[in-house]
Structure 1
Amino acid sequence: MKVAKVQIGKSGLQANPIGLGTNAVGGHNIYPNLNEETGKDLVRAALDNGINLLDTAYIYGPERSEELVGQVIKERGSRDDIVLATKGAHEFKGEEVILNNSPAFLKQSVENSLNRLQTDYIDLFYIHFPDEDTPKAEAVGALKELKDQGKIKSIGVSNFNLEQLKEANKDGYVDVLQSHYNLFHREAEEDLLPYTAEQGISFVPYFPLASGLLAGKYDENTTFDDIRAKDPLFQGEAFKENLRKVDQVREMANAKGVEVPHMVLAWYLTRDSIDVLIPGAKRQEQVVDNLKTLDVKLTSEEVQRIDQIFK
């Protein structure tokens, strides 16, 4: 499938606007009972259907997601067209996990990720979470050295607040910010999105479908036994109210002959500085289905209407 690629901010990377988040590929610490071959099939389905942005992380597994993604890329022979993103910052000290952004740790993290991914460069490497001690410009400076050496192609930070992001971007080296953003969580519109737009930094939202709530597949009788069981979005009256909002989008989607998630994902792509999306998937059909987003052309009235529903 031929898809018009977009540039990710000022990174120079070219990707299908719909990528694949791979925390369900070997992310045994996130989802119980994952089948690894099924996970690899998700990556194969993505690549076979023109999705070339793969988003993984050291902590998915830990380590296992990178290894499985690396195996699939290896079996394809060439990775010229693949935009491979991964993240590091978690350090295991015995049973304890701490966050570490020190230059030495980040450089070692990149080396370790290169080994697990079986490749000699990473297109986009993110500092996964900020630590409390390392000056952020220093942390990003270490990644700039790796970029100059060709080990990484572009620099990302994830979960940074505005102050941390500004410090990280002191020398203009940050290409991408990955942060929590969806129609139910719009705080980023107040500070992060205006700054990324102004700086030419690409903003990649995670949880774009709010753990499935914005995919339109739940009703009032749906119950949850995973992380959603404690999420306020899925509790009591709030859950019912959220479902009513999703139903309003469903009416719009029906009128266009598309589905709720395609409307929602298409809406994000109308936002300044959002170039690409990385919805996750547990089934191959979901991977392919997400691509229908690219066929959705929202009118300015529809964009405003969705904006209003979730104000």
Structure 2
Amino acid sequence: MQRRVLPDTDLNASVLALGTALFGSSINETESFRMLDRFYEEQGNFLDTSLNYADWQWPIKGISEKTLGKWMQLRGNRQDIVIGTKGACPLLNNGPFLRLQREDIVSDLHQSLRNLRTDTIDLYYLHRDDPSKPIAEIIEILEEQVKAGKIRYYACSNWTLPRIQEARRYAKENGKRGFVVNQMMWSLATVNRHHLSDPTLVSMDEKMIQHHRETGLSATPYSSQANGFFSGKYAAGDDQADSGVGRHYYNEVNFSRLNRVKQIARDRDLSCSRIALAYMLSPAHGFAVYPVIGPKSITQLDDSMAAVDVQLDFDVIRMLEAP
């Protein structure tokens, strides 16, 4: 797998980021280590996690980060790994959902450092925004942590375009680094936003794409394979319309795109999921994209990693995008 320096940083990251939301929980530690080893053997070194990953299903808090921390310590490879984790995480049960007070950011960061068994985090995302908080206050808190050596670069996850633009203006006008990455929900499939259970999730749209092209801001999209919509398991008129994938992705545009993906996959003797991920990796987008993959098995991981070798020309990209 190729690696490339993430723009505006010195982080030499693999072009795919391995999503680890279930590592250490429903994907047990042994299998998690197998997948991490396999990813690393193929030169994958970009890991995506969060302080609260798997907290919704597992009694041990921070189990994803803790699993990665243990693996890096056992393998002795921390210096070759690019860790992207998220703080200021929304509380999943009782308590304030939006958490961007100074104490929220700093306490989450320190807990992530302990979980990951590291002194610094390469890429630190704010998991959500709180529009009531001044941008200047947020950026200055993050800058303090950079100066303290706790984080190397900072980024945003599920922030709206106006707030990203406001943060960029503040950073530019005040000589600050600002966000180097934006993480959002994005794939070849269009999401049915009215069915999302969390209204604070932000998905890619044309205005945001244009901002990325104009500024060169990198993207690390989650749900980059539409949660398996292009895996071949789903079809119009089947009995899975009420599943999570069905609620989020069943619509006329997406089934049309799925049919085109199937045709290209047949022509090239490749899996549909590989074509859908190759779309996300295409340079035709006009800015650096590091898709976050979420395999649940070695087989799925191998299929996703193979997508980096699939080349889709500009005409194919535009054909896939057409409604």
> Same fold per TM (> 0.5)?
yes
Aligned to 2:309: 295
Aligned to 1:171: 171
1:75-109 Cα deviation digits (max 9, x unpaired): 11121111100001136598335221123321221
Q: 1:226 to 1:255 in 2, by over 3 A?
A: closer
Q: Are 1:137 and 2:136 counterparts?
A: yes
Structure 2's unaligned 5+ residue stretches are 56-61, 173-177, 192-202
Return the match for 1:210 from 199, 204, 226: 226
Distance 1:199 1:149 in 2: 28
Q: 1:222 to 1:67 in 2, by over 3 A?
A: farther
Distance 2:238 2:28 in 1: 28
Aligned to 2:161: 162
Return the match for 1:255 from 267, 274, 279: 267
Q: 1:302 to 1:92 in 2, by over 3 A?
A: closer
Distance 1:175 1:215 in 2: 31
Aligned to 1:221: 238
Distance 2:52 2:319 in 1: 38
Specify the code of the residue in structure 2 equivalent to 1:291: M
Aligned to 1:184: 189
Structure 1's unaligned 5+ residue stretches are none
Specify the code of the residue in structure 1 equivalent to 2:221: P
Offset at 1:164? 1.1
Give SS of 2:221's match. Answer: strand
Distance 1:232 1:293 in 2: 24
CA contact (8 A) 2:278 2:311 kept: yes
Offset at 1:72? 1.0
Specify the code of the residue in structure 2 equivalent to 1:89: A
Offset at 1:19? 1.7
Return the match for 1:49 from 33, 42, 48: 42
Q: 1:93 to 1:179 in 2, by over 3 A?
A: closer
1:45-85 Cα deviation digits (max 9, x unpaired): 22222211000001112311111111111111121111100
Aligned to 1:266: 278
- Greater relative contact order (Cα < 8 A, sep 6+): 1
Q: 1:183 to 1:139 in 2, by over 3 A?
A: same
CA contact (8 A) 1:175 1:200 kept: no
Q: 1:301 to 1:204 in 2, by over 3 A?
A: same
Report which stretch shifted further, 36-45 or 259-268. Answer: 36-45
Q: 1:34 to 1:80 in 2, by over 3 A?
A: closer
CA contact (8 A) 1:122 1:151 kept: yes
CA contact (8 A) 2:190 2:254 kept: no
Offset at 1:34? 4.4
Distance 2:139 2:38 in 1: 34
Distance 1:245 1:94 in 2: 37
CA contact (8 A) 1:106 1:139 kept: no
Return the match for 2:292 from 278, 291, 300: 278
Specify the code of the residue in structure 2 equivalent to 1:223: Q
